[in-house]
Each structure stands twice: as structure tokens, then as C-alpha cells.
Homo-oligomer: A and B are copies of this chain.
Amino acid sequence: MEDAATPVSAQKQAASPRRAPSQQRSRERVERMLAAASALIAEQGSDAMRMGEVAERAGVSIGSLYQFFPDKRAIIWALAERYTAESQSCISAALAGISDAERLQSAFSELVDIYYRLFLAEPVIRDIWSGTQADKALRQLELADSRANAEFLSAVLKRLRPAADPATLETTAFLVWQMGEAAMRLAISVERQEGDRLVAAYKRMALRELLAE
């Protein structure tokens, strides 16, 4: 886990390569950098987050920051990757082994609620996934994450409806999942009450689709 979230993976993006922290000392510093970035994003949003501020709050120089993160987006990317890794294990656990409609219904409903509460409560997640569309690397991360989660869902669907075309089920699962993320983003951007209604409506819509013959 500490390994997976290592910022070196941010190289996948585009910028010049950066060293991965190999010493204990620097690993701790990188943690401080991420923590500082997280705090600043929570306070002002990732757009207003200044690299100098991150460095200052982490107690490192701006140069050290750039030693481990090729650019500003890489920091955000690293935070996003942690969240996706964490949530993916939750989701796989919640959907594992389900093979009847009732359990799918309750598990899915609960999953949506958990996600919704998470989005409402965590300003950092909200900020990062709001800006997703603007950043190619983040978008790719979200797509990959979504595909992975949709796979758990389509696995359940295939068990529930063995006669149906598997490819169609996969498309359905992916779409339902993406619609869910969009519904969350929408729900948190409107009044709380309307958001609740929208999430409920999404649940109905998604379940109707998932449980349809």
C-alpha cells in the first residue's frame, strides 16, 4: 500500500521523471508533502494550492517537493491514487460473492450511500474528482478505476443473468458506474435536499437497469 501510492507512479503522466524515495527519511518527507497538499486542498481547493505553500507547510524546500513530484498535478494524482486504491478494495468486498437480486439491490444501495456520504464529507475527494475532467492523467485514473469497479459489478450481473450477452452486461455495468460518479458530482453541487433526491433517483434508475430482464 505504501508502495502502491509511491509518487514515482506519477511518471505515467507526462513530465520529466523523478526519483522515488528510497530512504526512510525521504519517505517520511514525502508523506508530509502529501499531508500538506491534502490540507491545503481541503482549505482552498487544488486550484488555489500553491507549490510554495505545500513545501512550506511540509517543512521542506520547494526543490525537495519537485524532487519527488514532477509537477503540481502529480501531487494531486498521488492523492487521488490513494483514494481509488482504498475505495476499490471496499467495493470489491461489498460486491464479492453476490449472486441473487435481493443482495445485489441492498449491497448496491448501501454502496451508493457510502459513496455519497464520502463525497459530502471529504472536501479533498470532492475537489479532486471535480477537477477530474480537466486533467488528462486524472481522467485516465478515474476511468481505470471505474472500469475496475464496473468489473466487479458485471461479474455479479453475469452470475445473475447467465443467459444475457456478457459484452452487453459489461457495457451496462461500466455505464451504470460512471453514471453513479456523475450523479455524485451532481448531487454534491446542488442543495443538500435536492442532492438527496437525485441520489435516490439514481439508485432507482440504476437498479431498474441492473435488475432488468
| Interface, chain A (partner B; CB < 8 A) | 47, 130-134, 139, 143, 168, 171-172, 174-176, 178-179, 182-183, 185-186, 189-190, 194, 197-198, 201-202, 204-205, 208-209, 212
Contact = CB atoms under 8 A, between A and B. Distances in A.
B130 A134 contact: yes
A202 B185 CA distance: 18
Nearest to A131: B134
Given A132-B133, A133-B131, A143-B189, A178 B182 contact: yes
A194 B146 CA distance: 15
B178 A139 contact: no
Given A134-B134, A183-B175, A189-B139, A208 B212 contact: yes
Contacts of A212: 208
B178 A134 contact: no
A134 B129 CA distance: 10
B182 A198 contact: no
